[in-house]
A = this chain, B = another copy of it.
Amino acid sequence: MRIGEAATRSGVSAKMIRHYESIGLLAPAARRDNSYRDFDARDVHDLTFIRRARDLGFSIEEIGRLLALWRDRDRPSREVKEIAKTHIAEMETRIARMQEMVATLSHLAECCAGDERPDCPILSGLAGEQTKAPAAASDARQPDHADQGADQR
């Protein structure tokens, strides 16, 4: 089948299939005489595997490792579980961090009248005037790569 059908069946866009191939996550697809990529059920399976892993928030790098383990019939399940547990821990850390942000911001928002008057504890809080809030995650940043959720856009 051609890339469009593989995309539909796996739920991975044609764009991303080509991308995964280009970064080496997938072996180069077979080609027909007209240079079109040619996919079979096994390819669709791999793509579906990748999509499910992405849906669980795994990064491309982790997915690469999972795919390798999947292909190795004799791998110890221990290795897979380790990747999963590490990933779960990372997600839980991110969740906790976001919950802190929500808590801090909610505190400020609760203190804000939200009417026509200009006084606003939210802006004051951002400006540094203490509102004795439960302290937000305040320093150091990180470009988290994987809050990737499932959604539109």
List residues of chain A with CB under 8 Å of any chain B CB. Answer: 11, 45, 48-49, 52-57, 66, 69-70, 73-78, 80-82, 84-85, 87-88, 91-95, 97-99, 101-102, 104-106, 108-109, 112-120, 122-123, 125-128, 136-144, 146-153
Copies of chain A in the complex = 2
Task: Pick the 6 closest A-B CB pairs, nearest first.
Answer: A147-B147, A142-B151, A97-B149, A137-B150, A81-B114, A77-B120
Q: What are the residues of chain B within 8 A of A97 when measuring CB–CB?
A: 149-151
Q: Within the assembled complex, what's the spacing in Å between the Cα atoms of A94 and B96? A: 12
Contact A116 B78 (CB under 8 A): yes
Contact A148 B152 (CB under 8 A): no
